[in-house]
């Protein structure tokens, strides 16, 4: 996705044009895969991908998520989620996504946002 508008990052850098990739990089969400190989590449960092990353990375798998847009998926656009276990007062989708990213990173999972994955991405030898 390419937008025609410009924007700025928290450090004041101008982004023009403000593509998804540039905004994600400016917000520190894009990290080029830092390892030569991974045990698990998760396509999509919605709730399912983030939960999988926390489980896999905490279990010792070298894990990276590749997300086409931004972490959080559909849930990240939700103002309040009221049926999530452990959040009796509800939580916003963006807060949930931010917390999940911190948790996944704490276990060593990587995340590269603003990158869509196609069948020819070549990041993994075997798709499951």
Ligand X SMILES: Cc1cc2nc3c(=O)[nH]c(=O)nc-3n(C[C@H](O)[C@H](O)[C@H](O)COP(=O)(O)OP(=O)(O)OC[C@H]3O[C@@H](n4cnc5c(N)ncnc54)[C@H](O)[C@@H]3O)c2cc1C
Q: Which is nearer to ligand X, 7 or 90 (CB)?
A: 90
Q: Cα–Cα distance between 62 and 58 in angstroms, integer?
A: 9
Distance in angstroms between the alpha carbons of the first and the last residue of the chain: 27
> Is residue 68 involved in binding ligand X (CB under 6 A)?
yes
> Is residue 78 involved in binding ligand X (CB under 6 A)?
yes
What is the enclosing helix (H) or strand (E) of 20?
A: helix 20-26
**SS3 call for 109:** coil
Which alpha helices (H) appear in 27-116, and where do they start and end? Answer: 47-58, 93-106
Cβ at position 6, least distance to ligand X in Å: 23
> Is residue 49 involved in binding ligand X (CB under 6 A)?
yes
> Is residue 46 involved in binding ligand X (CB under 6 A)?
yes
- Judged by the rule CB under 6 A, the positions of this chain that interact with ligand X are 43-49, 66-69, 73-75, 77-78, 81-83, 116-117
């Amino acid at each position: 996705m390419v937008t025609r508008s410009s924007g700025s990052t928290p450090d004041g850098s101008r982004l023009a044009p403000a593509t998804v990739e540039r905004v994600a990089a400016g917000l520190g969400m894009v990290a080029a895969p830092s390892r030569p190989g991974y045990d698990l590449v998760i396509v999509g960092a919605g709730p399912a991908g983030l939960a999988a990353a926390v489980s896999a990375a905490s279990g010792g798998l070298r894990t990276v998520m590749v997300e086409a847009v931004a972490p959080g998926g559909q849930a990240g656009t939700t103002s309040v989620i009221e049926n999530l276990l452990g959040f009796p007062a509800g939580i916003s989708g963006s807060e949930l996504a931010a917390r999940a990213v911190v948790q996944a990173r704490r276990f060593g999972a990587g995340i590269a946002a603003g990158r869509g994955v196609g069948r020819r991405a070549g990041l993994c030898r075997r798709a499951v």
